[in-house]
Copies of this chain bind each other. A is one copy, B any other.
């Protein structure tokens, strides 16, 4: 099967569709695979108890990858801690604000984040996402947290490099090979993290002035792989879709986002920080762990900034 043309992608979109699988009213998509039993089994994976954050710092610094930086404002600081006027009350307060989608913030995409031909997961209309909020497929589908077995696939290590060449997309065959190499297998209900060595790329390369670094990503062949394996959640240190794409497909600029979110109902974790987790996994010689994602409970929200925590 090839994934080069618009009609290839349209066929793939249908093939991996989970529309209706969990009922006409479902908004959880492949989170349905992550059952309480699987959560309980994942907890049993914990050995050392080491916790590792997989998030980048709150992205307040402007830059080519961060054109609309997050806001962090001290509202009351140590220079005026009694401004409240209550005797003995000395406090500091702050404000944070963020439009978290894009390339800078570690965040989760709700299933309403992407539409294909005006529809989102389970066939709901794009019109359901109004100026006042998403009436369908909001992040509230994940309000009780995602807590399951995390599996990290280290593609640079497979290739014997520090990072994935942004021109050479990761293929499904490589996902299989990485599993073999790491002696781990991703299955139903798992949270799969695919490292492309984004931060190692930055250390060794200098982006062009005014541009962010290119981001490596997945070949569309990975899409049926994710579908067949019944993965619950997918994470990356980049954004799954190579940016810019070395092999763009007409009208399908972000095939992984389009098929995962809109067809499969597979929540995505973008812009994770995986270098610390890779190091911890190498140290403990294991690539599975308990993994928890706790989105903010934003009613009608299209996602949330998150700080996913792996426990080894």
- Using CB atoms and an 8 Å cutoff, list the residues of chain A in contact with chain B: 35-44, 46-53, 55-58, 60, 62, 64, 67-69, 71-81, 83, 86-101, 112-118, 125-134, 143-145, 147, 208-211, 250-254, 290, 292-309, 311
Contact = CB atoms under 8 A, between A and B. Distances in A.
A174 B307 CA distance: 35
Contact of A294 (B43, B46, B48, B308): B308
Contacts of A116: 90
B210 A131 contact: no
A248 to B, nearest CB: 10
Contacts of A298: 57-58, 72, 94, 96
A114 B129 CA distance: 21
B49 A43 contact: yes
Task: Pick from A62, A93, A208 the residue with the most CB of B within 10 Å.
Answer: A93
B88 A93 contact: no
Nearest to A9: B88
Nearest to A99: B95
What 5 A-B pairs have minimum CB-CB distances, sorted nearest first?
A210-B210, A40-B49, A77-B131, A97-B97, A62-B67
A131 B93 CA distance: 10
Nearest to A140: B57
- Count this chain's copies in the assembly: 4
Contacts of A118: 78, 90
A48 B253 CA distance: 42
Contacts of A307: 143, 145, 294-297
B35 A39 contact: no
Given A51-B147, A91-B101, A299-B58, A80 B130 contact: yes
B296 A58 contact: yes
B130 A114 contact: no
Contacts of A94: 99, 101, 133, 298, 301-303
Contacts of A69: 67-68
Contact of A75 (B86, B131, B304): B131
A57 to B, nearest CB: 5
Contacts of A75: 73, 99, 131-132
Contacts of A58: 296-299, 301
Contacts of A73: 73-75, 95
B37 A49 contact: yes
A296 B309 CA distance: 11
A251 B86 CA distance: 8
8 contacts: A40-B47, A43-B290, A73-B95, A86-B253, A92-B113, A92-B114, A94-B298, A95-B98
